[in-house]
Amino acid sequence: MMRIGLFLLTNLAVLVVAGLILSLLGVGSYRSAGGLDLKNLMVFCLVFGMVGSIISLFLSKWMALKTTGTELIDPNAPRNQAEVWLLQEVAQLSQRAGIKMPDVGIFPSYQSNAFATGWNKNDALVAVSTGLLERMNKDELRAVIAHEIGHVANGDMVTLSLIQGVVNAFVMFFARVVGDYIDRNVFGREEGEAPGLAFIGITIVLDIVFGILASAIVMWFSRYREYRADEAGARLAGKQAMIDALLRLQEESQMPDQMPKEMKAFAIAEGKEQGFSLAALFQTHPSIEQRVEALQRLNLH
């Protein structure tokens, strides 16, 4: 119920904010007597595409806390030695990466995992699972934390949100342009006639089809940023420690994936490993083998 409520709340915010922006821009409709007004349509799609991504970005820390059950560590009153160690490591690694120390949290999950999120690199959240704390040694833990700090320092959350927003805008734009063409030339809608159920149905189908195809672009960037975060982890915590941490994650790859769907792209591990296939184009993470190979080729000075 919590996730459904957050989904509805986010979409309501998108509708309200996007509607307000379109009103201020004077964009009431993207249709004219002659068909589509392409200029207004592009503005309409950009506003809805970007507003959704930007709102999700600004709510990312709050939503991560709610969906994963992460409990923040009070930096002034850590409750045990594990929390003291976590705070010290995050503080040191953040300083080395040149960013403000993120909030630090622990979320309940037997699966070894961690994530970072936040709307900018100086207001972020880094969280680790209870399973990670229980089963990784300190060198491996430090490498995982460094990987997440790398995501924050690289500004990956912002970049991914912007790419998602642009992709969403183009999906909406081309779905309506192609839908209008099909409605006029296949279903015989007359010039100046208002679009009917055929246009609506075609557009919905094209939104889904184009959205699936376009998600391959977003997932490609998600995989690319994992390599960059691995490199950052190696530079901050040591190349071998980063490799060892990934291999430890690989050992647990057959465990059920407990990370909420909306947080998968921000976690260090995606879950069960799978070989090359068409589905690999839509994975948020490269395979552990590919990541380890990339690290082994990395020449650190």
The residues annotated as belonging to the active site are 148
Closest by Cα among 236, 256, 264, 82 to 154: 236
Distance CA 271, CA 251 (A): 11
Which residues pair with residue 128 across a beta bridge? 106, 114
- Are residues 124 and 102 in contact, defined by beta-carbon separation less than 8 angstroms? yes
How far is the CA of 292 from the CAs of 131, 223, 239, 241, 298, in angstroms?
Answer: 22, 13, 10, 11, 10
Closest by Cα among 120, 117, 121, 127 to 99: 121
Distance CA 24, CA 196 (A): 28
How far is the CA of 149 from the CAs of 102, 146, 189, 192, 204, in angstroms?
Answer: 9, 5, 55, 55, 39
- Per-residue tokens: 203: 């557009």
Give the DSSP letter string of 188-204.
-PPTTPPP-HHHHHHHH
- 216 by DSSP, 3-state: which? helix
- Are residues 70 and 64 in contact, defined by beta-carbon separation less than 8 angstroms? yes
Instruction: Give Cβ neighbours of residue 290 (< 8 Å, ≥ 6 apart).
Output: none
With residues binned 3-state (H G I as helix, E B as strand, rest as coil), the percentages for the chain, rounded to 5, are 65, 10, 25
